[in-house]
Amino acid sequence: MDKLSIVILSYNTKKLTLDCIKSVFAQYNKNIENGEFEIIVADNASTDGTVSAIQNYSSRIKIIQNKENYGFGKGNNIAAEKASGGYLLFINSDTIVKDKGFIKMVEFLNNNKKVAVIGGRLIDKDGSDRAPAGKFYNLIYVFFTLFFSRFTPNLRFSPKKISDVDWVSGAFMMIRREVFRKLEGFDRNIFMYVEDMELCFRVKKLGYNIVFFPQSSLYHAEYGSSNRTFAIINIYKGILYFYKKHKSWQYLIVKMLLVVKALVAICIGVLTNNRYLKDTYRQGLRLAI
C-alpha cells in the first residue's frame, strides 16, 4: 500500500486536536507502526499548550511549529512539504475517526489513476450528514446560496454512493501528493474557507477527476476552531478572490450580489435589533464595496 501522510492543522484547539490524534491511533496504530501511515500536525502558533500536549502524547507525530497563524491553506501547505507519503490526507482537528476507511480510500486511488482527489462523509454528533461535496461556484449558485440556501439543498450534498463531484471539503480530503505539489498546494491568498473548492477547480483543469467516497467517514464538529461570524467574513473574502482569479468577467456581478445580501441582512438586523447580523454583515459590506 502506498504511504499515507495524515495532515492535521491546529490552532488553539488542544483538546480537539488530541482527541482527533487519539482516534487516528485507535484505528490505525498498526499502520503507523509499520510506516504505512504518518501523522503530521501543523500548529499555527497556538498559545494553549497544544504542541507540548502532542509531544507528551506520542513521539511518532511530526510537529510543524509555525511562527504565526497562517490560516488553513498556507498552514497545510507547510505541513505537506514535510510529508513523505504518496497520498496526502487533510482532516480537521475537530474530527474523530470511527472506521478504517482511510485504507479503502488509498486502495481506490491506487485503482483509479484518473482520480486525484477523494473525500468522505462528515457526520454530526446526532448522526446526520453534513454536505462535504458540492458544485463549483457560478452566478446561479452564488445567488441561491446567498438568498435561498435553505431551499436549494442540492447545491451541497453527501452522496450515498461513490460519485464524481466538482469538489470535496478540505475537512476530509485525500489528494495525490504529486498533483498537490504540481499545483503548489492550496492558494495561500485564501486564509480559510473556499480554498478547498478553489484547489479542486485547479485539479479539474489538469484533467483529473474528483470523487466522493461515502465508505469512509469522520465525525465533525463544525466551527470547532472558529465561529460563525469569522466563517461568513472569510467566505465573503474567498468568493471574491475566487471570482477575481478564475472568472474575472463575473467578478463585479458577484460583488453586487454580496453587497445586496449584506444590506438586506443589516436591515433585518436593525429591524429586529439583532447585533450579530448588524456587526457581521457590516464587515461583509466593507469587503464587497
DSSP, residue by residue, 71-105: HHHHHHHHHHHT--SSEEEEEETTEEE-SSHHHHH
Q: Which helix (H) or strand (E) holds 50?
A: helix 50-57
pLDDT of the residue at 4: 97
Whether residue 87 contacts residue 109, with contact meaning beta carbons closer than 8 Å, is answered with: yes
Vertex 232, ends 226 and 235: CA angle to 5°?
100
pLDDT of the residue at 144: 83
Q: What are the structural domains of the chain? A: 4-220 (3.90.550.10), 228-288 (no CATH)
Contacts of 148 (CB under 8 A, 6+ apart): none
pLDDT of the residue at 147: 83
Backbone angles phi, psi at 138, to 5 degrees: -130, 180
Indicate the SS3 state at residue 56. Answer: helix
Backbone angles phi, psi at 7, to 5 degrees: -110, 125
pLDDT of the residue at 2: 79
Residue matched to cell numbers 497556538: 46
For 153, left (φ over 0), alpha (ψ -120 to 50), or beta? Answer: alpha
Euclidean distance between CA atoms 80 and 136, whole angstroms: 25
Per-residue pLDDT of the chain (289 residues; tens, 9 = 90+): 679 999 999 999 999 999 999 999 999 999 999 999 999 999 999 999 999 999 999 999 999 999 999 999 999 999 999 999 999 999 999 999 989 999 999 999 999 999 999 999 999 888 888 889 999 988 988 888 888 766 555 778 899 999 999 999 999 999 999 999 999 999 999 998 899 999 999 999 999 999 999 999 999 865 544 578 888 899 899 999 999 999 999 999 999 999 999 999 999 999 999 999 999 999 999 988 8
CB atoms inside a 10 Å sphere around CB 289: 10
pLDDT of the residue at 14: 94
The cell for 281 is 454583515
Euclidean distance between CA atoms 77 and 5, whole angstroms: 13
Euclidean distance between CA atoms 209 and 189, whole angstroms: 24
pLDDT of the residue at 231: 85
Residue 32's Cβ-side half-sphere holds a number of Cα atoms within 13 Å equal to: 19
pTM, rounded to two decimals: 0.93
